Amino acid sequence: MRRRATASEALSKGRISRPAAWMLRFILMLVVAVPALLVTSPGYVAFADKLPDTQLLASTGMPEDTLIYAADGTTLLADLHPPGYQSFYEPLPEMGTKLPDAVISIED
């Protein structure tokens, strides 16, 4: 049967103690992480500078459609909207159960 080394024997054979091994791993992690952050941070800053201001995005509403009706007030003649935008108002109860569930599942 093989005998396990005691702590004093392990230290005398050149093995590293647990606190020293933890410190060595921490220093190794710093040696890898700090240069990685120094190399990647300019790219992140350049990317973040191109993003729009979040305060400006929150204050502007979604573009709305311009509806042009006939003189009777009920006949829709035109639905004008900016390119790429077309919205329809639909109350939540009229959507049924599938669409809200699908939106929630996409967001999760």
pLDDT at 41: 94
- The tens place of each residue's pLDDT in the chain, 108 residues long, gives 666 656 556 555 556 677 788 888 899 999 999 999 999 999 999 999 998 888 877 776 666 778 889 999 889 898 887 777 777 778 878 888 888 788 888 876
Q: Which domain holds residue 19?
A: 7-49
Residue 11 neighbours by CB under 8 Å, 6+ apart:
17
66 and 102 assigned to the same domain:
yes
pLDDT at 108: 64
Give the per-residue pLDDT at 6.
62
Instruction: Say whether pTM exceeds 0.75.
Output: no
What tokens appear for 16 in the block?
């590293």
Same domain for 41 and 64, yes or no, is no
Q: What is the domain count for the chain? A: 2
Residues 15 and 37 in one domain: yes
pLDDT of 80: 84
Would you state the structure tokens that stand for residue 53, as one six-digit string? Answer: 């201001």
Q: Is residue 35 part of a domain?
A: yes
Task: Annotate the chain with three-state secondary structure.
Answer: CCCCCCHHHHHHCCCCCHHHHHHHHHHHHHHHHHHHHHHHHHHHHHHHHCCCCHHHHHHCCCCCCEEEECCCCCCEEEEECCCCCCCCCCCHHHHCCHHHHHHHHHHC
